[in-house]
Amino acid sequence: MTTRRDFIKSAVLASAGLAIGSVSNKMNAASYSRIVGANKKINLAHIGIGNRGWEIIEQFDNTGLANVVALCDVDLGAEQTKKALAKFPHARRFKDFREMFDKMGNEIEAVAIATPDFAHFPAVMMSMTYGKHVYVEKPLSRTFYESELLIKAAKKYPKVVTQMGNQGHSEANYFQFKAWTEAGIIKDVTAITAHMNNARRWHGWDTNIKHFPAAEPIPETLDWDTWLMSRDYHAYNKDFHNGQWRCWYDFGMGALGDWGAHIIDTAHRFLDLGLPEEITPLKLTGHNDFFFPMSSTIEFKFPKRGDMPPVVITWYDGVDNIPPVPEGYGKMELDPNIPAVAGGKIQPARLNPGKEIYSKELTFKGGSHGSTLTIIPDEKAKELEKSLPEIPESTSNHFANFLLACQGKEQTRSPFEISGPLSQVFCLGVAAQRLNRKIVFDRDTKRVTNDAFADAFLIGEPPRKGWEDFYKI
């Protein structure tokens, strides 16, 4: 196992090496000349076409705005990729997105990426350097530094349309929060409780783990080396693949990275929260060095912003870690409009995934994804009913919003300049979670000030040989 000294040394070397150099911009004049017409479908390539990848393929197809020209997946012979291959038999097929860009880059206008969390960054970065518009599932990246590089890349390539897949950013939740904030209904927020208490894939695993699971035979159709991308080598095990990657610090972002973007996003956006200055793990049940705890309570402290007071967000996950709710909360039944958790687990929790927002005068109850807020208790809601502003209808769902932005008709609602800092909040939370200690963070320098190991952790391990250039802007 890597020692603290070794980790700091390697991360410092990585930060020094990755901060210099540049990736050549493949977006030439010919690329710009192919700006789409008003009614032309976007030539779209999908990277990651099974499981969640298949779901977003269907969503993009339902818009009627995309022409699928390429399908890329490291396992084109897997059961989970068959539906996409059958639906688009004329799309060219690749196991490696690098080969896809080499062979047909000029035929692609936009890319949709639905790979595991750790594999987002290389595919997104290469897409942007080739001048392709990018839609990528949340969270934006696995490490703070990767998100920082993507924020910088978005500034370097301003004609590239970017969108992170926190779909609630194009639904009623987004427009209501915006309208209520602008009308002064939501103001002077001081605290937010956010929670996702569903059972997770790793619940029930042995938390006394001392090493990664033993190597197993790699499925014949799977290109495991490409699956790993820039990560250091891990021997194949079925518990790293097909959604199981979310369980491990080395590959995923746990419950916080998975659901935080669906619960905290609008508060982060419209309260102008930015990055926290303190992140404290208050409870970590079953903490270990390999996979996420059975339950976590993590506190994020955000400073005063202009006229807005400091805000404390407290995150709860774990079936035995349901937070207290305010008086007048009302019913706690599960909301059928909130998507089920992948992995086949039954939800035994008594509380919906969602949030409670506390301001100096009002308390709000909210769910996840596109769920709207209500004022509690009911008596207060009825008192304010006539003064609430009208909420505009969304002009497009999240997938159509991206494609319409590619056509120049709309602006994306979750571009990297907005979704990048949100993802960095989760990266800081996971760092405190994994290291099991408080992090004091300087929002200006974007460095950890109380712990050199935690500061190095924000950069992460150096990329595997052959992937270094992806980390140069």
Confidence of residue 237 (pLDDT cuts 50, 70, 90): very high
- Distance in Å from the first CA to the final CA of the chain: 31
Q: Is position 472 within any domain?
A: no
Residue 318 sits in a domain whose CATH number is: 3.30.360
Q: Is residue 281 part of a domain?
A: yes
Percent of the chain with pLDDT over 90: 85
Residue type, 43: N
Give residue 332's domain range. Answer: 171-211+240-393
pLDDT band at 330; cut points 50, 70, 90: confident
pLDDT tens-place string over residues 344-394: 344 444 788 999 999 999 999 999 999 999 999 999 999 999 999 999 999
Number of helices and strands (H, E) in the chain? Answer: 15, 15
Count of residues making up the chain? 473
Q: Using an 8 Å Cβ cutoff, are 177 and 389 in contact?
A: no
In a domain, 287, yes or no: yes
Using CA atoms, how far apart are residues 184 and 181, in angstroms rounded to an integer? 5
CA-nearest of 258, 251, 252, 239 to 199 is: 258
pLDDT tens profile 114-148 = 999 999 999 999 999 999 999 999 999 999 999 99
Q: How far apart (Å, rounded) are the C-alpha atoms in residues 103 and 101?
A: 6
Structure tokens at 377: 């208790």
**Residue 283, token pair as written in the block:** 């409870």
Is residue 414 domain-resident?
A: no
Among residues 408, 441, 411, which one has the least CA distance to residue 425? Answer: 441
Q: Is 235 within a domain?
A: no
pTM as predicted: 0.90
Q: Is residue 366 part of a domain?
A: yes
Strand order through the sheet with 133-137: 92-94, 66-72, 42-47, 110-113, 133-137, 162-165
Alpha helices (H) along 105-164: 120-129, 144-156
Average pLDDT over residues 169-179: 96
pLDDT (tens digit per residue) in 179-209: 999 999 999 999 999 999 999 999 999 999 9
CB 363 within 8 A of CB 220: no
pLDDT-derived band of residue 473, with 50, 70 and 90 as boundaries? confident
Confidence of residue 335 (pLDDT cuts 50, 70, 90): low
More confident residue, 6 or 470: 470
Q: 89-117: per-residue pLDDT in tens?
A: 999 999 999 999 999 999 999 999 999 99
Flag whether pLDDT at 79 surpasses 50.
yes
Compute the distance between CA of residue 53 and CA of residue 439 in angstroms, rounded to an integer: 34
Does any domain span residue 31?
no
Q: Provide the domain count of the chain.
A: 1
Torsion angles phi and psi, residue 372, rounded to 5: -90, 165
